[in-house]
Structure 1
Amino acid sequence: MTDTTQAAGAAGGELPHIGDEFTVKERTQTQLVLRRFVRHRAAMASLVIFVLIVLWAFIGPYLWHYSYQKFTPDNSQPPSAKHPFGTNSSGYDAYAQVMRGTQTSLKIAIMIAVGSTLVGAVWGAVAGFYRGVVDAVMMRISDLVLTLPLLAIALVISARSGGSWYWIAIVVAGLTWAYVSRVVRSTVLSLREKEFIEAARALGASDTRIIFRHLLPNALGPIIVNATILVATGILIETALSFLGFGVQPPDTSLGLLVSQAQTAVDTRPWLFYIPGAFIIAIALTINFIGDGLRDAFDPRQQRVRQ
């Protein structure tokens, strides 16, 4: 026993033996991504706020005692305990209408994000995997879609669809998938040269299996980030369409339609204009912060695997 060890023992301290092994639990890639995302304070706060808004919009109408479709005897009332968001000139409870409007806007935005992401991810993966003539043709089609004036075409088609929220979502998704395809294609172009793809080919895996079981799962990071961005984009596009009168039509409602209907009353009944407007801003901001957190979490430059 050395003098240093004897001194430490006499002082009541303990030193670890040289032969002791310290084991650190290995973390999977998913655990690493979740850990980095949780550490992103703005993204976590935004996620909590967004989840609360979603629960409020979809569960709240079943708990609230007024319906967005029914009149009340209180016309043009300011916010109060009875009507937290006030009422409009027809007696509709604004709290119930904002809940319904948020629900409709979220359904449109999420459907846009899901539809655009699915089509764009598969399109970009196939183009990036095959390259050559297939890639050139598919990407020229994507470029054509990108050059189309999204808002103008959405206005025309939405006007002919009668203002149904699902038609609005389908139209916008059909004009935004090309953005996702470009991102996924660039990711797949680098992934297809990796060793695990060569190993899959050597084992006799079909092209379909390689694309859907190897390439797309490994491109999941950029896909998820773009999906969150499309949710915010969908909210803003729906708002623009409804504000111009070509979006959701009464008796249904959306946040954009509520803002459009209240623009003439912004001086006399400002609560009808600013409250749904605040929800539009809140949803768009929270989604953008969540997207920032996911981008940072999936950033390969931050991936340090501990074993």
Structure 2
Amino acid sequence: MRGTQLQRRRPPRRLVRRFLAHRPAVASLVVLTIVVVAAFAVPLVWQYSYADITPDSSVPPSLDHPFGTDNLGHDAFAQVLRGIQRSLEISVLVALVSGLVGTVWGSLAGYYGGRVDSLLMRTCDLVLTLPLLAVAAVLANATSGSWWLVALVLSALSWALIARVVRGVVLSVREKEFIEAARALGSTDLRIIATHVVPNVVGPVTVTVTILLSTAILAETALSYLGFGVQAPDVSLGLLVSASSTAVSTRPWLFYFPGLFIIVIALAVNFIGDGLREALDPKQNRVRR
């Protein structure tokens, strides 16, 4: 089947070579890997938990407290690590749920066309017209700050973009000869979509989902900053920035360290997405220098 032949034109080795040729993407992948491993591994051996209250209050960065402490004595290093964990968990859940729903929705719309396409895409248009932060703030406020409910709220407002991307790809794929051959052989629509259509949208979906990771982190940060995201005693990067925004002049370390990691993670994910886009794009034949 030509459906599988299309995938063979871009073998894994070539995709890896193209990605490795994108130096900013490779460097970003290394940085992001270090941040993720540190966020989940270091708390296992660090002497303080994010919830511990130490005798040292409002202490600037030192050997005992690399990121300093807040006015209650919380170790900022432990809290930033916890914040990275929670922000990453939210963004990954948003990307997975949005990617799954958007892929199924866009595949059905693009494959069947007609009234089905019109109905599904009008729903997408409605979701895309909703102001993300305003609607998310209202819905997230009703979830009482539960991190996974916040992630589901963001997912419910993000899947339409992926559905649009998938629909465009499916519209071009459904008229290919291998789809007609599969129909002639008696394959059901569900089987054709699962075995021939979906594999051909993996590339665009992967890139879009990667970019959505950074968008989700920034959206969670904005919600937490406004007081509608993750709530204490839990911790996220956005909540740390929000809680320390009034102490920038007196305890700047509480604001700048979580803010720095938000920027680093968002930039790293964006560069990785750019590298994946070039690696998965069949029109990209040149190698970056």
Change (3 A) 1:53 1:115: same
Instruction: Give the structure 1 partner of residue 192 of structure 2.
Output: 210
Once residues 288 and 296 of structure 1 are traced to their aligned partners in structure 2, the CA distance between those partners, rounded to angstroms, is 13
Deviation at 1:303, TM superposition (A): 5.1
Instruction: Give the structure 2 partner of residue 29 of structure 1.
Output: 11
Once residues 134 and 182 of structure 1 are traced to their aligned partners in structure 2, the CA distance between those partners, rounded to angstroms, is 14
Once residues 252 and 19 of structure 2 are traced to their aligned partners in structure 1, the CA distance between those partners, rounded to angstroms, is 38
SS of match in other structure, 1:300? coil
* Percent of residue pairs bearing the same amino acid type: 59
Instruction: Give the structure 2 partner of residue 22 of structure 1.
Output: none
Larger radius of gyration: 1
- Contact 2:10 2:282 (C-alpha < 8 Å) held by counterparts: no
Deviates more, 1:148-157 or 1:86-95: 148-157
TM-score (norm 1): 0.89
- Contact 2:94 2:216 (C-alpha < 8 Å) held by counterparts: yes
Give the one of 152, 156, 172 matched to 1:190. 172
Once residues 139 and 258 of structure 2 are traced to their aligned partners in structure 1, the CA distance between those partners, rounded to angstroms, is 25
Match status 1:275 vs 2:254: no
Structural RMSD (CA): 1.2
Match status 1:251 vs 2:230: no
Once residues 159 and 219 of structure 1 are traced to their aligned partners in structure 2, the CA distance between those partners, rounded to angstroms, is 35
Once residues 200 and 57 of structure 1 are traced to their aligned partners in structure 2, the CA distance between those partners, rounded to angstroms, is 47
Once residues 284 and 256 of structure 2 are traced to their aligned partners in structure 1, the CA distance between those partners, rounded to angstroms, is 40
Give the partner amino acid of 1:101: G
Give the partner amino acid of 1:33: L
Once residues 203 and 10 of structure 2 are traced to their aligned partners in structure 1, the CA distance between those partners, rounded to angstroms, is 15
SS of match in other structure, 2:158? helix
SS of match in other structure, 1:302? coil
SS of match in other structure, 1:95? helix
Give the one of 60, 83, 87 matched to 2:42. 60
Q: How does 1:121-132 map to 2 (within 5 A)?
A: 121-132=103-114
Instruction: Give the structure 1 partner of residue 129 of structure 2.
Output: 147
Match status 1:161 vs 2:155: no
Which runs of structure 1 show a deviation greater than 3 angstroms over 4 or more consecutive aligned residues? none
Instruction: Give the structure 1 partner of residue 3 of structure 2.
Output: none
Deviation at 1:120, TM superposition (A): 0.4
Give the partner amino acid of 1:271: W
Give the one of 237, 242, 262 matched to 2:224. 242
Give the gaps of 5 or more residues in structure 2: 1-7
- Contact 1:32 1:303 (C-alpha < 8 Å) held by counterparts: no
Give the one of 246, 255, 262 matched to 2:244. 262
Change (3 A) 1:28 1:190: closer
Instruction: Give the structure 2 partner of residue 171 of structure 1.
Output: 153
Match status 1:285 vs 2:272: no
Once residues 28 and 288 of structure 1 are traced to their aligned partners in structure 2, the CA distance between those partners, rounded to angstroms, is 23
Deviation at 1:29, TM superposition (A): 2.2
Deviations 1:33-59, CA, capped at 9 Å, x for gaps = 111011111001101111111111111
Deviations 1:173-222, CA, capped at 9 Å, x for gaps = 00110000000000000011112111211211110111111111111110
Number of aligned positions between the proteins? 279
Give the gaps of 5 or more residues in structure 1: 1-25
Once residues 174 and 29 of structure 1 are traced to their aligned partners in structure 2, the CA distance between those partners, rounded to angstroms, is 34
TM-score (norm 2): 0.94
Change (3 A) 1:28 1:293: closer
